[in-house]
A and B are shown apart, each in its own frame.
Chain A
Amino acid sequence: MALQKGTVFRYGRDVNTDIIIPARYMSTQDPKELAKYCMEDIDPEFVKNVKPGDIIVAEENFGCGSSREHAPISIKASGITCIIATFFARIFYRNAVNIGLPVFELPSAVENFRMGDQVEYDLEKGWFKNCRTGSQFQAKPFTPEIKEIFDAGGLIELVKQQTGR
């Protein structure tokens, strides 16, 4: 995959699914509709400023709380290509993997990036460069089980392949 460039949206710890997408907007499953309200209660500027290719960088326990898949769906539909965090809450991590939204646990990068930094990255390689500091970061490869899901394009596509449909 070619190199990509984008802007970093940087958040703190325990970013929960209620603030990623509040329940008051969950009467729909339409990704574009959900994306309109993504991060509204933590950063009302997010939807105004986010562009395709941007990434989210956050601290510990990103995505804690509810199992609502609306959270990673709204992030993905907003144009965000991946999330870097110190670590993720487990249901959010599963959901992101299952819908094909790459998630990287990369504490050193979390420390380095600030809100608004420009980032150059290669999703395939899990490689990131902070254009402000010049620092480069390499994520650990995914486990074979998780890579299989990403390579298929998500869990539904993988199940389709496995059931021969």
Chain B
Amino acid sequence: MGMTITEKILAAHAGKDTVCAGEIIAAKVDIALGNDITAPIAIREFEQLGVDKVFDPTRIALVPDHFCPNKDIKSAQQAKILRDFSAKYGITHYYDVGEMGVEHALLPEQGVVTSGDLVIGADSHTCTYGALGAFSTGVGSTDLAAAIATGEVWLRVPEAIKFVYKGTLQKYVTAKDLILYTIGDIGVDGALYKTMELTGPVIDRLPMSGRLTMANMAIEAGGKNGIIVPDSVTKEFVEPRSERSPRYFTSDPSASYCMVKEYDVTDMELQVAFPHLPENTRPVSQAGDVRIDQVIIGSCTNGLLDDLRLAASVLKGRRVAKGVRLIVIPATQTIYRQAMHEGLFDIFLDAGAAISTPTCGPCLGGHMGILAEGERAVATTNRNFVGRMGHPKSEVYLSGVPVAAASAVTGKISSPAEL
């Protein structure tokens, strides 16, 4: 029996020739990640262990991105815990404000994570790096604490579902629509504990930005990891930037999958996930008349340069509707600078958008765009649970960038075709 790419990466990090689904392994971690919400608990737990050093100060990434730049005194105290810990233990991948970006955009961009890695992060969207052909998964703070101390994590080898995307994407239909459609099809627990291996000619043609978007949302289907077998797109992305040598794993033709899902995307419309679960997807043509108050373009799901370019292409020469707040959040400092140089900021500002420094901010109801009671937002983020972006009686509608930008212009959920 052959192995999937996920099984091969796990076997390689457990010092085994083979592993099989269901097996529990102790695996070596290449990068362990935490942020200003989760790392303070991990650091407290780490200190209870009474060890005097971390397993490897070059393999720990601490990114204060959620409530940073500090939104209030309590968040300032939390961020300081990361800063002090990083100074004490010589953590090389600590990114303070000015270098900081949304963690899952930042680490691939900076070459901190690479193909073939095993990455754990105390953040559920750590699954993003599967786009590079890495095994990466979200864990909690205690797992992070143990990994910071030992460099190891216990993992159950997941069964795998293979997703095959065929056909041709229509104009404005993006990777976000593919993954929203998929979650709508299989449900928020459709890939529970499992690998989502994303394959097919549509994936082969996706740029790295779209691949990151898709792997990012594997957790919204309950997945343990999302993963794409590395190809020339991957190599072009990782090789100029990786600080360690990438390792390219593939899935064997005889690898075992518990399910195979095939989608022909040619007729796929732009998708919107209605409140309050990412699985409540509808084609935008069936959204009805949903008036909105705010639009967020950004996050670890859709805050990359390609996303901002796409937003600008829809917003160019247009104005945000009266009564709607459009907030654009470039995910990293590098993206911010490049978007500025390309003139995207002028387009956003002319349209009446606010441009924010990199932060997760509004996505989890932290800051930089919180919703009042009864307000509705269209967001390119990843979750629309009750109260996710603010008041428990506010609503979040998830979409790709084109729908978000078009909705900002019309003031209701819209396709760019309506402009």
A contacts, CB < 8 Å to B:
14, 16, 18-19, 22-24, 26-29, 41-42, 60-61, 64-70, 72-73, 87, 89-91, 94-95, 98-99, 143, 145, 154-156, 159-160, 163, 165
Contact of B364 among A23, A69, A145 (CB under 8 A): A23
* List of A residues within 8 angstroms of B365 by Cβ: 18, 22-24
Contact between chains at B142 and A69 (CB < 8 Å): yes
Instruction: State the CA gap A69–B126 with chains docked (Å).
Output: 15
Interface centre among A61, A65, A95 (most CB of B within 10 A): A65
Instruction: State the CA gap A28–B78 with chains docked (Å).
Output: 8
Contact between chains at B386 and A89 (CB < 8 Å): no
Contact between chains at A155 and B392 (CB < 8 Å): no
Contact between chains at A94 and B67 (CB < 8 Å): no
Contact of A41 among B44, B51, B387 (CB under 8 A): B387
Contact of B138 among A24, A67, A163 (CB under 8 A): A67
Instruction: State the CA gap A16–B50 with chains docked (Å).
Output: 33
Contact between chains at B386 and A29 (CB < 8 Å): no
Contact between chains at A159 and B49 (CB < 8 Å): yes
Tell me if B149 is interfacial: C-beta within 8 Å of chain A: yes
7 contacts between A and B (CB under 8 A): A18-B383, A27-B74, A66-B124, A67-B123, A67-B138, A155-B143, A160-B49
Tell me if B139 is interfacial: C-beta within 8 Å of chain A: yes
* List of A residues within 8 angstroms of B193 by Cβ: 90
Instruction: State the CA gap A70–B142 with chains docked (Å).
Output: 11
Instruction: State the CA gap A89–B221 with chains docked (Å).
Output: 10
B154 to chain A, nearest CB (A): 6
B contacts, CB < 8 Å to A:
24, 37-38, 40-41, 44-45, 48-51, 66-67, 72, 74-75, 77-78, 121-124, 126, 138-143, 145-146, 149-150, 154, 188-189, 192-193, 219, 222, 224, 277, 364-366, 383, 385-388, 392
Contacts A22-B365, A159-B150 hold; do A28 and B74 have CB atoms under 8 A apart? yes
A17 to chain B, nearest CB (A): 8
Contact of A165 among B50, B121, B124 (CB under 8 A): B50
Contact between chains at A67 and B38 (CB < 8 Å): yes
Pairs of residues from A and B, 10 with the lowest C-beta to C-beta distance, nearest first: A27-B74, A95-B140, A98-B142, A69-B140, A67-B124, A18-B385, A61-B189, A69-B141, A23-B364, A67-B138
Contact between chains at A165 and B51 (CB < 8 Å): yes
* List of A residues within 8 angstroms of B121 by Cβ: 67
Contact between chains at B72 and A27 (CB < 8 Å): yes
B376 to chain A, nearest CB (A): 17
* List of A residues within 8 angstroms of B385 by Cβ: 16, 18-19, 65
Instruction: State the CA gap A92–B310 with chains docked (Å).
Output: 35
Contacts A19-B387, A90-B193 hold; do A29 and B123 have CB atoms under 8 A apart? no
Contact between chains at B366 and A91 (CB < 8 Å): no
Contact between chains at B142 and A154 (CB < 8 Å): yes
Contact between chains at A91 and B387 (CB < 8 Å): no
Contact between chains at B386 and A18 (CB < 8 Å): yes
Instruction: State the CA gap A150–B165 with chains docked (Å).
Output: 42
A14 to chain B, nearest CB (A): 6
Instruction: State the CA gap A76–B165 with chains docked (Å).
Output: 43
* List of B residues within 8 angstroms of A66 by Cβ: 123-124, 364, 383
* List of A residues within 8 angstroms of B122 by Cβ: 67, 69
Contact of A163 among B51, B141, B222 (CB under 8 A): B51
* List of B residues within 8 angstroms of A27 by Cβ: 67, 72, 74-75, 77-78
Closest to A44 in B: B392
Contact of B189 among A60, A67, A155 (CB under 8 A): A60
Instruction: State the CA gap A19–B385 with chains docked (Å).
Output: 8
Instruction: State the CA gap A156–B78 with chains docked (Å).
Output: 21
* List of A residues within 8 angstroms of B51 by Cβ: 163, 165
Contact between chains at A145 and B188 (CB < 8 Å): no
B277 to chain A, nearest CB (A): 6
Contacts A91-B124, A160-B49 hold; do A67 and B41 have CB atoms under 8 A apart? no
Interface centre among B49, B66, B77 (most CB of A within 10 A): B49
Instruction: State the CA gap A87–B189 with chains docked (Å).
Output: 10
Interface centre among A24, A42, A70, A87 (most CB of B within 10 A): A24
B183 to chain A, nearest CB (A): 12
